[in-house]
């Protein structure tokens, strides 16, 4: 069928849809590889006196490039938050941040000349490596977890999940009204429980061994197990509600776990970056004044 839009098709439209890793045909990956390769080659042919170290001209060059890169990479945090006008894209920044950050492994290591010790210089190097390793973890989760997060939440938002949970709690509360003291205590195990308690480990693993809802359901099952279900049983209703609450909990806990996994590394990456910058300045200061 011959058709023609009144507006011309946007030829660049499709190219916009690529992730930060594939940005512009891996432009920054290629650049980072080129830089790293060049650094290694020069290092191989560079004839430093006594042995390769940060004090040679090449060492200074690498050090300057490395320090500059570290400061520039830190600026991603500013770029992300300062919504200024202009033709910039955070995706391009992230792409460059990732690949140039990885090239620091080569630049930084060559800058050391493989001399390590228990001093502020090696501290800066160690901090840098930890920051980079946490970043690699970040790349890994960013490229694998989003689809899991999306599949788990379906079309519900986090607020809706929490709402759903509150609603189930209200229903449980209503359904528990006709129950006796002993059974009411069982329902209370679920109602009084903090479903997200259990600290960081529970949040990151999604396992909540002391979950009050599960305990309550087990207790109810023991009560209802031997009896035939005759339809109009308050305990059966509680059982169904607890079942639903547990399903809802599983989903939201999975959601929170994935979100935590997507965020946790930033709690290492960002503070250690500041520590790194402090160590870096100490390193530069000490080199120039006490070497």
Partner 1 sequence: MADAYRIAIIGSGPAGLSAAARAAALGISHILLEKTDHLSDTIFKYQKGKHVMATPSQLVLRSDMDFDAGKREAVLGAWDRQAAEQGVNVRLNAEVKAIAGGKGDFSLTLGGGEVIRAEAVILAIGTQGNPNLLRIPGGDLPHVQYQLDDPGAYVDEHITVIGAGDAGIENAVGLAQDPAQRNHVTILNRSADFSRAKDANVKGLFAMRDGGRLAVMTDTTPSKVEPGWLTLDTRDGEARIRCDRIIARMGSAPPRKFIESCGVEFTSEDREAFPRLTATFESVSAPGIYVIGALAGYPLIKHCMNQGYDVVEIINGNSSLKPADEPILEAKFKRLPRRRTVDQWLEYLRANVEILNDLSPLQMREFMLDSEVRAYRIGETVFEKDDPGSSLFGIASGSVDVAGRVRIGRGSIFGEVGLISGRRRGATIRAAEDSILVEVSRTAALKLMASNPAARRVVTRISTERQLLQMFGSGLTPEDLAEVTATARVESVSAGKAIITEGEDGCDIFVIRVGSMVVEKSIGGKPVFLSYLPAGSYVGEMAVIDGAPRTATVRAAIKSEVIRLDGAAFRRLLDRKPDLLEKAKRDMAQRQDLNAFVEARKDSFSSVVDMYSSVANFLVEQGVGEATDVLLIDENLCVGCDNCEKACADSHDGLSRLDREAGRTFAHLHVPTSCRHCEHPHCMADCPPNAIHRGPDGEVFINDTCIGCGNCQRNCPYGVIRMDKVPPKKPGLLSWFLFGKGPGPGEPSHEWSATHADPAIEKPKKAIKCDMCSGIEGGPACVRACPTGAAIRVAPEAFLTVARLDRGEG
Binding residues vs partner 1 (CB under 8 A): 1-7, 9-10, 13-14, 16-20, 23, 78, 80-83, 85-91, 93-94, 142, 145-147, 149-151, 153-155, 157-159, 259, 262
Residue 94 CB, shortest distance to partner 1, in Å, is 5
Residue 77 CB, shortest distance to partner 1, in Å, is 9
**Nearest residue (CB) to partner 1, 58 versus 99:** 99
* The two three-digit tokens of residue 50, written as one number: 């006594």
Residue 8 CB, shortest distance to partner 1, in Å, is 10
Burial of 264 (0-12, 13-18, 19+ CB in 10 A): middle
Q: How far apart are CA 175 and CA 234, in angstroms?
A: 7
Sole residue written with tokens 């009411």: 184
**Nearest residue (CB) to partner 1, 188 versus 259:** 259
CA 30 to each of CA 27, 187, 206, 284: distance values in angstroms, whole numbers, following the listed order? 5, 60, 38, 30
Residue 53 CB, shortest distance to partner 1, in Å, is 37
135, 101 in Cβ contact below 8 A?
yes
The residues, ordered by sequence, that sit 6+ positions from 219 with a Cβ below 8 Å of its Cβ are: 186, 189
**Nearest residue (CB) to partner 1, 13 versus 225:** 13
Residue 154 CB, shortest distance to partner 1, in Å, is 7
Q: How far apart are CA 102 and CA 77, in angstroms?
A: 17
**Nearest residue (CB) to partner 1, 46 versus 79:** 79
90, 83 in Cβ contact below 8 A?
no
Residue 182 CB, shortest distance to partner 1, in Å, is 42
Measured from the Cβ of residue 20, the count of other Cβ atoms closer than 10 Å reads 20
Q: How far apart are CA 161 and CA 165, in angstroms?
A: 6
**Nearest residue (CB) to partner 1, 82 versus 230:** 82
**Nearest residue (CB) to partner 1, 160 versus 286:** 160
Q: What angle do CA 226, 229, 233 make, to 5 degrees?
A: 110
């Amino acid at each position: 069928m011959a058709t023609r839009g009144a507006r011309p098709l946007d030829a660049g439209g499709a190219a916009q849809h690529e992730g930060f890793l594939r940005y512009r045909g891996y432009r920054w990956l290629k650049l980072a590889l080129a830089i790293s390769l060049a650094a290694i080659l020069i290092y191989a042919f560079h004839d430093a006196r006594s042995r390769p170290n940060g004090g040679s001209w090449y060492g200074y060059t690498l050090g300057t490039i490395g320090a500059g890169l570290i400061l520039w990479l830190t600026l991603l945090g500013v770029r992300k938050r300062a919504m200024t006008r202009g033709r910039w894209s955070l995706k391009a920044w992230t792409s460059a941040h990732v690949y140039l950050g990885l090239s620091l492994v080569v630049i930084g290591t060559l800058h050391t000349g493989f001399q390590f010790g228990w001093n502020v210089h090696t501290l800066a190097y160690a901090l840098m490596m930890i920051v980079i390793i946490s970043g690699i973890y970040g790349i890994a989760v960013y490229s694998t977890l989003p689809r899991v997060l999306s599949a788990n939440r379906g079309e519900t938002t986090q607020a809706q999940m929490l709402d759903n949970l509150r609603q189930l709690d209200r229903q449980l509360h209503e359904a528990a009204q006709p129950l006796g003291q002993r059974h009411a205590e069982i329902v209370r195990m679920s109602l009084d429980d903090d479903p997200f308690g259990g600290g960081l480990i529970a949040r990151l693993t999604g396992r909540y061994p002391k979950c009050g809802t599960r305990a309550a359901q087990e207790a109810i099952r023991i009560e209802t197990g031997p009896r035939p279900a005759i339809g109009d049983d308050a305990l059966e209703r509680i059982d169904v509600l607890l079942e639903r609450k547990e399903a809802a909990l599983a989903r939201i806990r999975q959601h929170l776990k994935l979100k935590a996994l997507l965020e946790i590394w930033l709690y290492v990456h960002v503070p250690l970056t500041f520590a790194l910058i402090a160590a870096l300045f100490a390193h530069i200061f000490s080199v120039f004044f006490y070497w």
